Amino acid sequence: MNNQPIGIFDSGVGGLSVFAELIKLMGEENYIYFGDTKNLPYGNKSKEELIKISKNIFDFFETKNVKAVVMACNTTSANTYNELKNQYNYKIYPIVQTVSKEIALANYDRIGVFATQATINSHAYKREIRNYNLRSEVFEIACPNWADIAEKRLQNEPESIEDIKSKLNMMLEYNPDKIILGCTHYPYLIGILSHFAPLELFINPAKIFAQNIYQDLKQSELLGGKKEYEPKFYVSSNAQQFKMSSKLFYDVENAQEIEISKLTVK
């Protein structure tokens, strides 16, 4: 048994979709969630900025003596995991690399990916999926406004609906078998997306990801046996907005604002 905490981070509330799945499987773990709301959105940042941001967060978790860090954020997984994965003593779980393997093995011919601009620029989903299954064709479309729409719960505004519809129509032209919601914020938009396309078309990677983490911790004999405290939530700004937006996946009652580094990227 290992009761050290598990760290989990995202640019905001999106990673709560992963967190909600993790606690279903591993309720006895001690969790520390960090939402980097001050640096949101990550999707329009450069690789260099994202590496700096991720490094700060990994250093923060190091001070918390975690046994593992869950990169619930697609954008940082796609752009910084390879650079940072060997620099820390705890386990690191990246969402893109982990779920791509599982999805590739499901053998779909045509896979669509909606993600942030920085994730699409990295082509990480395409590369990772085709690494395991060269038969799959992967179609990537960036949705630069969607994280903000979800974070601010603007999905019912006419402009948001237009934006969502137009990206979805572009994707449907490719006739995909499945569409990966490749940003943790996007499952917040599933209600509106499923107005215009069948719900079964969309893959929310959170479930697959959480299963994988659970299996790996189990195999590594790192599962915790005793919850010592309720999950702790930290944000880098605007705790009130975070609590409001959290409700769809996990109702956060208390989030503490902290400054984890002076290196905040503007």
**Contact between 5 and ligand DGL per CB under 6 A:** no
Interface with ligand DGL includes 119 (CB under 6 A)? yes
Per the annotation, the verdict on 143 as an active-site residue is no
The residues, ordered by sequence, that sit 6+ positions from 135 with a Cβ below 8 Å of its Cβ are 107, 109
Q: Which residue from 30, 37, 75, 238 is in contact with ligand DGL, where contact means CB under 6 A? A: 75
Choose the stretch contacting ligand DGL; rule: CB under 6 A; options: 35-43, 48-56, 219-227, 248-256.
35-43
* Residue closer to ligand DGL (CB basis): 57 or 147: 147
Residue 184 interacts with ligand DGL (CB under 6 A): yes or no? yes
Q: Which of 185, 217, 234, 242 binds ligand DGL (CB under 6 A)?
A: 185
C-alpha to C-alpha distances, 243 to 12, 156, 162, 233, nearest whole angstrom: 10, 20, 27, 10
Half-sphere exposure of 172 (CA within 13 A, CB side): 12
Question: Considering beta carbons, is residue 11 or 136 the nearer one to ligand DGL?
Answer: 11
Pairwise CA distance, residues 180 & 186, whole Å = 10
In Å, the largest CA–CA distance within the chain is 51
CB closer to ligand DGL out of 61 and 224: 61
Whether a cis peptide bond, with omega within 30° of 0, leads into 94 is no
Task: Name the E strands within 127-209.
Answer: 137-142, 178-181, 202-203
Residue type present at position 170: M
CB-nearer residue toward ligand DGL: 223 or 233 = 233
| Active-site annotation holds for 73 | yes
With 0-12 / 13-18 / 19 or more C-beta atoms within 10 angstroms meaning exposed / middle / buried, residue 160 is buried
Determine, following the binding rule CB under 6 A, whether residue 183 of this chain makes contact with ligand DGL: yes
User: CA 213, CA 263: separation in Å to the nearest integer?
Assistant: 30
Q: How far is the CB of 115 from ligand DGL (least distance, A)?
A: 6
Tell me whether residue 41 or residue 112 sits nearer to ligand DGL (CB atom). 41
Contact call for residues 77 and 94 (beta carbons, < 8 A) = yes
Under rule CB under 6 A, residue 112 binds ligand DGL: no
Count of positions on this chain that bind ligand DGL (CB under 6 A): 16
Active-site residues: which are they?
73, 183
Q: Which residues of the shown chain bind ligand DGL in the complex (CB under 6 A)?
A: 10-11, 14, 40-43, 73-75, 116, 119, 147, 183-185
